[in-house]
Amino acid sequence: MSARELVVLGTASQVPTRHRNHNGYLLRWDGEGILFDPGEGTQRQMLRAGVAVHDLNRICVTHFHGDHSLGLAGVIQRINLDKVPHEITAHYPRSGQRFFDRLRYATAYRETVALTEAPVDTDGPLARTPGYTLEARKLSHPVEAYGYRLVEPDGRRMLPGRLAAHGIKGPDVGRIQREGTLGGVPLEEVSEVRRGQRFAFVMDTRLCDGVYALAEGCDMLVIESTFLDEDEALAVDFGHLTAGQAARVARDAGVRHLVLTHFSQRYADPEEFERQARAAGYEGELTVARDLQRVALPKRR
């Protein structure tokens, strides 16, 4: 199992189909699990995908339309039923607090777990861990929506040839990493920047500044493409994207792996999303998401 991967739980927009559940996406990021937009049926999709509630550390909801949030009731109750021993944090638009309250307490159950509510009401960082900073950006949709972005801090990759040339070995390697210099040799001389990985989740929006900011330089971008390009007028009206719009964002942002999802039930042929994304000039890795698919983050450059 890859240490960093996307597990796709559902890929339908408004209406689930025989082959597509409502939304749901688990991002595995080293030891952590972040569940995005659990729609109806997410609990069962998790079972089918081999994801347990113990795998969850965070839940991020972009907005309170049912296809992105009705699964909260079931997932939260299951977290409590299974007595998950660690804290779980939930992020969602603060303007939808009343919806979150209703979903959290939709029916009677015994509350056993610390679920921390951390609502979002502004652009910017939400959480910092050693592995990533989680940020939010406002989107443009009929109800308030925020997209999410994980940015791993840049690190340094030691260069064995340079270390040897300077006679640095054994415990001295750790020393120069900690202290930034050793015997007059700066760390930069024997190492190079290892760029941190970036992931963004952009759901239910028309084109806006937030979309571009979230996508910028991402190793993986999961983005809605509810409509095909011929229905762009509908997309703008309802606050959604087309395949071509999403792909142009990814192209301009230098995205390495584009994952399209959240498809309207009106389209029979998923390959048309791929054709339109390619026609828009996106040349990186491309996945037209299917339920229960696993997509590994691209290898580090």
Q: Which stretches of the chain bind Zn ion, using CB under 5 A? A: 13, 67, 204
Task: State the SS3 of 77-102.
Answer: HHHHHCCCCCCEEEECEHHHHHHHHH
Amino acid present at 280? A
d(C-alpha 104, C-alpha 99), whole Å: 8
Q: Cβ of residue 220: shortest distance to Zn ion, in angstroms?
A: 20
Q: Compare residues 13 and 42 and give the one whose CB is closer to Zn ion.
A: 13
Taking the complex as a whole, the smallest distance from the CB of residue 194 to Zn ion amounts, in Å, to 36
Find the shortest distance in angstroms from Cβ 67 to Zn ion: 4
What is the H or E stretch that residue 214 is in?
Answer: helix 209-215
| Cβ distance to Zn ion smaller for residue 143 or 158 | 143
Phi, psi of 243 (to 5 degrees): -60, -45
E strand segments, 133-280: 133-138, 146-151, 155-158, 181-182, 185-186, 191-194, 198-202, 220-224, 257-261
Q: How far is the CB of 114 from Zn ion (least distance, A)?
A: 29
Spatial distance between the Cα atoms of 154 and 140, rounded to a whole number of angstroms? 30
Of 39 and 74, nearer to Zn ion (C-beta) is 39
Q: 132 or 201: whose CB is closer to Zn ion? A: 201
Task: Give the distance, in angstroms, between the CA of residue 186 and the centroid of all CA atoms in the same chain.
Answer: 36
Considering the complex, what minimum distance in angstroms separates the CB of residue 13 from Zn ion?
A: 5
Of the candidates 30, 37, 55, 67, the residue annotated as catalytic is 67
Cβ-proximal residues to 228 (8 Å cutoff; 6+ apart), any chain: 242, 243, 267, 272, 273, 276
Q: What distance in Å separates the CA atoms of residue 261 and residue 95, rounded to the nearest whole number?
A: 25
Nearer to Zn ion, 11 or 191 (CB): 11
Closest CB 104 distance from Zn ion, rounded Å: 20
67 tagged catalytic: yes
**Distance (Å, whole) CA 238 – CA 211:** 16
Question: What ranges make up the beta strands (E) of the chain?
Answer: 4-10, 24-29, 32-36, 58-60, 88-91, 115-117, 124-128, 133-138, 146-151, 155-158, 181-182, 185-186, 191-194, 198-202, 220-224, 257-261, 285-288, 294-296
- List, by residue number, the catalytic residues: 67
